[in-house]
C-alpha cells in the first residue's frame, strides 16, 4: 500500500502516519525527520536546510526530490510506504510522479487531513523537543509535561524556533499558497481519502481505516 499523508503543518499527519505504519507494517517516511537529521549533521546541505526551515520556508525541490528518490529506491519500501511531508508543491508532485512511474508504482492513496488554522497554531505552539533523544512531543497530550515519554528525561524540553507563533503563521501562509494546490493535482492520480483532523487522534485513525476498508 502506497500512501501519501497530506495536510497543513500541525494537522496530525505525523501522528497518523506513525499509527498507520505500525498497523499496516509499512515504513513511515517523514521528510521532516530526514531534514532535521541533515540539519543536526551540520553538513553544508544540512545547515542550508536548517536555515530554510527556521524561517518557515520550503526546502528547494531539487534537494527534496533527490532525498525522496533515494529513499523510495530502498528495498524496505518495496511492500509499501507512508510518505509524510512530500510533495509540498506542484513541482514536487511532478517529481514524485516521475519517480514512482520509474519504479512502476502507480496505485497511490492520498489521505487528506484538514483542520482550521487557529487550531493548528494552538497545537504547534505547544510542541517541544527533548534535548536528550530529540523526540518531538506536544504538551497538550502529555501526562507530565516535564518528563519525556520516550527516554524518561526530566526538564529537557525546549521549544524549537520553527514552532514559534510567527513562524507557524508563515508556514501556514506557505502551505495555502504552495501546497494546497497539490490536492487538485492528485484528483485523477490517486484514491483520495478526506478526514477531519479536529477529531481525537483515535477517531481520526478509525475514520482512515474505515475508508481503507481495514476496520
The answer to whether position 147 is within a domain reads no
The answer to whether position 91 is within a domain reads yes
pTM for this model (two decimals)? 0.79
Q: How far does Cα 132 stand from its chain's mean position? A: 22
Core vs surface per residue 28-50: b (16+ CB within 10 A) or e: bbbbbebbbebbeeeeeebeebb
The answer to whether position 164 is within a domain reads no
The answer to whether position 145 is within a domain reads no
Query: If DSSP codes are grouped into helix, strand and coil, which group holds residue 173?
Result: helix
The answer to whether position 31 is within a domain reads yes
The answer to whether position 64 is within a domain reads yes
Residue 35 structural domain: 2-115+178-211
The answer to whether position 127 is within a domain reads no
The tens-digit pLDDT sequence of the chain (215 residues) is 999 999 998 898 988 999 999 999 999 988 777 777 667 777 777 787 788 878 888 788 877 777 777 778 878 888 899 999 889 889 989 989 988 988 888 789 999 999 999 999 988 899 999 999 998 888 988 888 899 999 999 999 999 888 888 999 999 999 999 999 999 999 999 999 999 999 988 999 999 999 998 86
Q: Given the C-alpha cell 494546490, which residue does it identify?
A: 181
Nearest to 68 by CA among 42, 94, 29: 29
Q: What local confidence, expressed as pLDDT, does residue 34 receive?
A: 74
The answer to whether position 89 is within a domain reads yes
- Distance (Å, rounded) from C-alpha 149 to C-alpha 159? 16
Q: What local confidence, expressed as pLDDT, does residue 78 receive?
A: 84
Give the CATH number for residue 36. 3.40.50.300
Beta pairing, strands 81-84 & 157-158: unpaired
Residue 30: strand pairing partners: 84
| Total domains in the fold of the chain | 1
Active-site annotation, residues: 13, 88, 127, 160, 171
Amino acid at each position: 500500500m502506497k500512501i501519501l499523508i497530506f495536510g497543513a503543518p500541525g494537522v496530525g499527519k505525523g501522528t497518523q502516519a506513525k499509527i498507520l505504519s505500525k498497523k499496516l507494517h509499512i515504513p513511515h517516511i517523514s521528510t521532516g525527520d530526514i531534514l532535521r537529521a541533515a540539519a543536526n549533521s551540520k553538513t553544508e546541505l544540512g545547515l542550508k536546510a536548517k536555515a530554510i526551515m527556521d524561517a518557515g520556508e520550503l526546502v528547494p525541490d531539487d534537494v527534496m526530490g533527490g532525498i525522496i528518490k533515494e529513499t523510495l529506491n530502498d528495498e524496505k519500501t518495496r511492500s509499501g510506504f507512508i510518505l509524510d511531508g512530500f510533495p509540498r508543491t506542484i513541482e514536487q508532485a511532478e517529481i514524485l510522479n516521475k519517480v514512482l512511474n520509474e519504479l512502476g508504482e502507480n496505485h497511490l492513496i492520498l489521505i487528506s487531513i484538514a483542520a482550521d488554522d487557529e487550531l493548528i497554531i494552538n497545537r504547534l505552539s505547544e510542541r517541544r523537543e527533548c534535548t536528550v533523544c530529540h523526540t518531538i512531543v506536544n504538551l497538550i497530550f502529555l501526562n507530565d509535561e516535564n518528563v519525556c515519554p520516550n527516554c524518561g528525561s526530566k526538564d529537557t524540553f525546549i521549544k524549537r524556533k520553527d514552532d514559534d507563533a510567527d513562524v507557524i503563521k508563515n508556514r501556514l501562509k506557505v502551505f495555502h499558497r504552495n501546497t494546497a494546490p497539490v490536492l487538485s493535482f492528485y484528483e485523477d492520480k490517486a484514491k483520495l481519502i478526506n478526514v477531519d483532523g479536529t477529531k481525537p487522534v483515535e477517531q481520526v485513525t478509525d475514520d482512515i481505516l474505515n475508508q481503507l476498508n481495514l476496520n
